[in-house]
Amino acid sequence: MTIVLAACFNRPYVPHVATMLQSFIASSSTPAQWYLVGDESVDAETMKQLLEFAEGGGLNVTSLRIPDELAAGFEDRPVYPRIAWFRAVLAEALPHEDRLIYLDSDVLALHDLAPLWETALREGHVFAAVAHPSYVVAPAECERLRLPPGAPVLNSGVMVMDLAAMRADGFADHIRAFATSRDRPPLRYADQDAMNVVYAGRWTQLDPVWNAMSPVVMPFVSGASWDDDAHHDPLVLERAARSPAVVHFDGASVLRPWHRRCFNPFAGLYREFRSTTPWPLDGLQERRHDALFARIPARLQAQVWHRRYLRSQRGNQ
Ligand SMILES: [Mn+2]
């Protein structure tokens, strides 16, 4: 068995891709084929450096460019650059592959991914993903996406894709038609919004252990506990949080492990893996005195951060 994986990234995310690959090398025992999909901001020299680094770790890696005609029509914005949409066209860009694990670059793989690869999709479904815990999805979000209240909302950071079924279904065309349609809701999460709307009720839910997002690992950041989630058993969330197979550093900048104040318990692991890549951290982001926060227990930090965040949100209105 060889599992097939892809990551899509621009130049600023190259160090994170390298870190993610390093975690994969350390955790994986199944033969794998990787497709590294950089956009035009990733110059040939940087891509070569990334490929050599991955090959040095024993990985089979191929660099892949998304043809312009496949990327056409998808909007390019600072928050969600066009690369966010690349995963929507992977089935077309890889016509010789039939199944794929897509991983965001802001994740670490901490278990072997063979069981994820073998996930059976439900009848008629073309991909699988993890649902956000209900306590992070504001009712206004479902309203914005015109989904029924309380509907599961997928996170597109980790996906199992049945590429053959996606091609047969015209996945890329459906997503592109949505993205370019005039009467679609305003997009906040680019590709993820599109998949949530177009494939509502037609995607297979994965165990959150495969995409332990910040609110899974730290429900207190959302002012919630695992018991508050309507989509997963609290024990399933707790297991995902304590021993994630894939940990995902999603969310606000303070939840990113390159930020000085990040209190995710896996931030140290990210920094360790990162230090062994050709792009080690040359310092953490944000003010030096923020290092003091790192000494405060995570829950308290989250409370302080949450209060500041709410205040800044109010300031923005
Ligand atoms: Mn992500």
The band of 76, judged by pLDDT with boundaries at 50, 70 and 90, is: confident
The alpha carbon of 235 and the centre of ligand 1 are apart by a number of angstroms equal to: 24
Least confident stretch, 185-189, 237-241, 262-266:
185-189
Q: What is residue 24's predicted lDDT score, i.e. its pLDDT? A: 98
Dist. CA 194–CA 302, nearest whole Å? 31
Q: What is residue 50's predicted lDDT score, i.e. its pLDDT? A: 98
pLDDT tens digits along 277-310: 999 998 777 676 666 666 777 777 777 777 776 6
CATH 3.10.580.10 fits 3-316, yes or no: no
Can you give the length of the chain in residues?
317
The alpha carbon of 130 and the centre of ligand 1 are apart by a number of angstroms equal to: 13
Residue 79 confidence (pLDDT) above 80? no
And the tokens for 99?
Answer: 């199944």
The alpha carbon of 206 and the centre of ligand 1 are apart by a number of angstroms equal to: 16
The alpha carbon of 247 and the centre of ligand 1 are apart by a number of angstroms equal to: 10
Q: What is residue 28's predicted lDDT score, i.e. its pLDDT? A: 96
The alpha carbon of 75 and the centre of ligand 1 are apart by a number of angstroms equal to: 18
The alpha carbon of 248 and the centre of ligand 1 are apart by a number of angstroms equal to: 6
Residue 316 confidence (pLDDT) above 50? no
The band of 314, judged by pLDDT with boundaries at 50, 70 and 90, is: low
Residue 225 confidence (pLDDT) above 60? yes
Residue 64 confidence (pLDDT) above 90? yes
Q: What is residue 226's predicted lDDT score, i.e. its pLDDT? A: 98
And the tokens for 314?
Answer: 């109010």
Q: pTM for this one?
A: 0.91
Domain positions in the chain: 3-316
The alpha carbon of 215 and the centre of ligand 1 are apart by a number of angstroms equal to: 13
pLDDT tens digits along 132-166: 999 999 889 999 999 999 999 999 999 999 999 99
The alpha carbon of 211 and the centre of ligand 1 are apart by a number of angstroms equal to: 10
Dist. CA 116–CA 210, nearest whole Å? 7
The alpha carbon of 213 and the centre of ligand 1 are apart by a number of angstroms equal to: 9
Which ranges of the chain does DSSP label H, i.e. alpha helix?
A: 14-27, 44-56, 68-71, 83-86, 90-93, 114-117, 139-144, 163-169, 171-180, 190-198, 214-217, 234-242, 267-275, 298-316
103 or 310, which is more confident = 103
Residue 53 confidence (pLDDT) above 90? yes
